[in-house]
Structure formats: C-alpha cells, structure tokens
Copies of this chain bind each other. A is one copy, B any other.
C-alpha cells in the first residue's frame, strides 16, 4: 500500500489508509492541520492554496458529516468543489467506475474524495488515476484515514506524548473503518496501551492488532484509561453480537457517568458520530465536560485541508 500512496521520492501522493504510513508523514499532516486551524481562527478565511483547483466528492454511500467536512475544507482553501452521489451517476448506466473516474479527470479534476461500501475502491481508483489524487473518505470496514487523523489531532491537542496514554476503543471494532484507522494512527504515534472492548463477536481477529489488549468487560477496560473512544452500534449488528436489545447493550457497553469515573480524572470521551444516545453513550456523558466529540468534528476541517493541500502541492 505504501507503494501506492507514496511517490518515488517518498512523498504522499494519495491518502488511502494510515496502515503502514510512518510517523513522519502523520506528524507532518497533524502539524499542517494545526497551522491551517490557527490561520483560519485568525483571519476568518483560509489561505487560497487551492484556488483554481477542482475537487470532486465521489460518494457511493450517503454521509452528512464527512462530505460536508471535506467540502468546507476544500472551499476554505479556495477550490471548486463538485458533489457526486451514486444515484445520479453514470455507473447506473453500466459505465465502469474507472471510466467515470477517467471522464471526470478529463475535465481537469485535480482530486477525488471517495467513499464506497467496498473495501479497496479508493486504492483501485488510485491505481487507475493518471494525474488526480485520491483521498479515501471511508471504504467498507477498511479505512477512514482522515477520521484517524482528526482523532489523533484531538488527542494531541491535550496530550503531546502518546506513549503515556492508555486508550480504550469500545464497540463494533470488527466492522469499523474508524476503529482501524484509529488503531493505525495510535500505533504509529506510539500509544502506550490500547484496549479493545465490546461483544466478542465484534472484536477483530486475534492476529489483526497484536499490540492491542482485548478486554471484554467494559468496566475493566475503562479503568485508568486516558482516552475512551466509543463507536456507533449499527442496529443490524445486535443479533450477531448476541445482544438482546439496545438496553442490554447500554447496560454492558454504554459509557455512563458512573463508568467514566473509573477512567483517569481528565479522561477524554470521543465518538466519531453520528451518536446513538442511550445506546453506546449516555446523553450526559456526550454533553459533559470530558467530551471532546464536537472538537473532533471541528478538527475534521483543518485535517482535511491539510491532507488536500499536501497532496495537491506534492
């Protein structure tokens, strides 16, 4: 994968996954995001780094927050942004995805932000692209690299040294691209300890993340954690997880004020959204003083600005 993402000079050419991406690239992206965030806060506008550039959102799955975040990021850099959703696309007419990409690239599109339910679609498009860069906005359960980066930035804003951190992820790790990208970035940044909690059927294969500890009992997992990342429960996963109902899930894996007391006193509460209040997280925890959930959202913009600016300048 690094062969696909990096050019022959080792510079980032596409952003497909954080898996295998080295710490230097990740820190450069986070540093750039911090700079762009400061610049926006100062001036109320972004630097017009991508003026005259065309960025196309190619979303084969609906998304509110991710598409909007990419669109605002691109516009705040001065780019022209177009949104495509599959329903109005020629792929309905039997055209291959590769031909759709080539067609849009022939219109001088400079970058594609791709979300697709199948693992590997962004990589496949990156291999086909002639000139345009590809940013993965989520593929199947494989990767969601900008989410991983924005989560890392949100943690780094409060804890510079990841090696001292105990981080717990709770929920459906197995089917979650967010979890995978979080785990890749936490590993790259040297997180001290990573714990995974949730129903056994929703845990990753035992060899996928050998550096993580699976702690099925969530109370035990939370204990002493510096960061607790809650994942959204897809309702269709409940049967597979041997969960009776939402109340049962909440009782076993919901993050409540009471459970949060087991964590470090200043532990951060995170969630990629959209949240199911009362299922994986109690409303008062979501809105409480330790929650950085809206900071995650805010950080999504400068992280995506940084990714687009870096790729399009490279």
Contacts and interface: CB of A to CB of B under 8 A. Distances in A.
B273 A95 contact: yes
A108 interface: yes
A274 interface: yes
Looking at A44, A54, A273, the one whose CB has the most chain B CB atoms below 10 A away is A273
Interface residues of A, number: 50
Interface string A58-72: 000011110011011
Contacts of A71: 82
Interface in A53-106: 54, 62-65, 68-69, 71-72, 75-76, 80, 82, 84-85, 87-90, 92-96, 99-100, 102-104, 106
A257 interface: no
B68 A82 contact: yes
A163 interface: no
Contacts of A90: 64-65, 273-274
Contacts of A104: 68
Does more than half of chain A's interface fall in helix, strand or loop, or is it mixed? helix
Interface stretch (A118-126, A132-140, A216-224, A293-301): A293-301
A72 B64 CA distance: 22
A68 B107 contact: yes
B298 A65 contact: no
Contact of A88 (B44, B54, B62, B276): B62
**Copies of this polypeptide in the complex:** 3
A45 B54 contact: no
Contacts of A274: 90, 93-95, 99-100, 103
Contacts of A84: 64, 68
A51 interface: yes
A107 B298 contact: yes
A52 interface: yes
Contacts of A51: 45
Contacts of A45: 51-52
A277 interface: yes
Nearest to A44: B52
A146 B30 CA distance: 43
A96 B277 contact: yes
Nearest to A294: B106
Given A64-B89, A85-B88, A95-B273, 18 more contacts: A45-B51, A45-B52, A62-B88, A64-B90, A64-B100, A68-B104, A72-B80, A72-B107, A76-B80, A90-B273, A90-B274, A99-B275, A99-B277, A106-B295, A106-B298, A107-B300, A107-B301, A108-B301
10 contacts: A43-B52, A45-B52, A62-B88, A62-B92, A93-B274, A95-B274, A99-B274, A103-B294, A103-B297, A108-B301
